[in-house]
Amino acid sequence: MIPQVMHPMFAKPVHDEAARQGFVNDFRVHLASQIFPGNIQGYFKRVLPAFVKENKREPKDRHEVRRVMTKDPYYQLWSAMQRSSQEMIWDSVIDSVERQLPDLIAKAAALKGKGSLTIDPKLEIPRYNTAADIHLQPGAYHGEAGQNDLSAGAIYDRGTFIYSMGALGEHNDGLGRILHGFFRKQWPDRKIERVLDMGCTIGGSVSYWSQKEPNVEFHAVDLGAACLRYGHARAKAVGANVHFSQQNAEKTNFPDASFDLVTSHILLHETSRPAIHNIMKECHRLLKPGGLMLHLDLPQAAGQSPLEGFLWEWEVYNNNEHFYGQLRELDVAEVCAKAGFDKATFKIHQVSSTWDDGQTPYSDENFTFPVYTAEK
């Protein structure tokens, strides 16, 4: 596996913990590069011909592909191994976090730096976050194992690095790099003074933004207290200046017209349909007149072949990414219009996963993220 930069808050693994994490990473690389392509071969050489023979036509959509592919032994074995590898990620990471947790909590308290942290112990965690642990992270992103706990954040920092097989880069902040790079390419001269990042988890993305735009006041909200505590400490450790607060992005306590820019990095697909409507309404309320919002997320179903569409939805059915399914078909333009945005300002950009410095940690350099933008 490629090395991850160990900032001062990083839960450094000892020998066997590191070896276990390295194995899971390399196992997932093998599954992705060597085993996964067999699903495509199997579909065209075995599953599709059988379907055509029986139905005298090809599958009309990804749902029909699902019905036949989930019975294919090769797919079943890949899928079961992929699921196991996901469980193994967390198992390999929790050991090192659990072992060092009291030290990490002490370290977070002692770290000097900029920004702030506001925790709301009374915040109600919505059901779309409590029904199942997203990405199979035990205890979920909002879980707390005790006072001042930051374990969910420490686990997330290492776990998502292994999950993405290093695709988020050595600082695990690739999504922030992609969105910030896109923003400055698209709006090079735009003046911003106050920015809000919604659903920031450990603030990897917003901390990168803060490092690139040191004169801007950055705020970041998330449901998870442990992720925010870790995020605040991590931001201090990397020299970022971010004001973190535990809030639901559907309804924050910021006054109307507070921000020039509102961003999110893969937040929308973790929220329910009513929540997305509320989040867009909140974006509209929070933006100053002329303000801009940028939401980076995962690809929608439109334009994908039935097989591609089916394969993209593995996470929906096998990795507790239940709400990604509904985002894949959602008319985001309509949601934004209902929230008060002028439809003429709404746009879906397909943004390259290549960073602005030319690096492409993604194995597929042609991969793009949809970024939904609208102006108030």
Partner 1 sequence: MAEAEKKPIKLPRTAKGKKPIYFDPTTDKLLSMVLTLMGELSVVRDRLDTVERLAEKKGVFKVDDIETYDIPEDVNKIRMERRSAYIARVLKCVQDELDQLQQQGDGMNVDLPQ
Q: Which residues bind partner 1 (CB under 8 A)?
A: 15-16, 19-20, 22-24, 27, 76-77, 79-81, 83-85, 87-88, 90-92, 94, 97-98, 101-103, 105-106, 109, 131-133, 136-140, 143, 145-146, 149, 151, 155, 317-318, 320
Q: Please give the structure tokens belonging to residue 199.
A: 């659903």
Closest CB to partner 1 among 2 and 132? Answer: 132
Nearer to partner 1, 26 or 365 (CB): 26
Residue number, 103 or 193, with CB nearest to partner 1: 103
Three-state DSSP at 154 gives helix
d(CA 159, CA 204): 13
The residue among 73 and 121 lying less far from partner 1, judged by its C-beta, is 73
Q: Closest approach of Cβ 127 to partner 1, in Å?
A: 12
Strands (E), 286-367: 287-296, 347-352
Question: Which alpha helices (DSSP H) does 150-272 contain, by range?
Answer: 151-163, 174-186, 204-212, 225-237
What is the smallest separation between the CB atom of 36 and partner 1, expressed in angstroms?
Answer: 15
Nearest distance in Å: CB 146, partner 1: 5
CB of 242 to partner 1, least distance (A): 24
- Name the minimum Å distance from CB 80 to partner 1: 4
For the chain, where are the E strands, in sequence order? Answer: 116-118, 194-198, 217-222, 242-246, 259-265, 287-296, 347-352, 368-375
The span from the CA of 226 to the CA of 148, in Å, is 7
Q: State how far the Cα of 123 lies from the Cα of 312, in Å rounded to an integer.
A: 33
**CA separation, residue 44 to residues 33, 38, 81 (Å):** 18, 10, 22
For partner 1, give the closer residue by CB, 81 or 298.
81
**Rounded to the nearest whole angstrom, what is the least distance from the CB of residue 198 to partner 1 in the complex?**
24
Helix (H, G, I), strand (E, B) or coil at 32: helix
Rank residues 6 and 14 by Cβ distance to partner 1 and give the closer one: 14
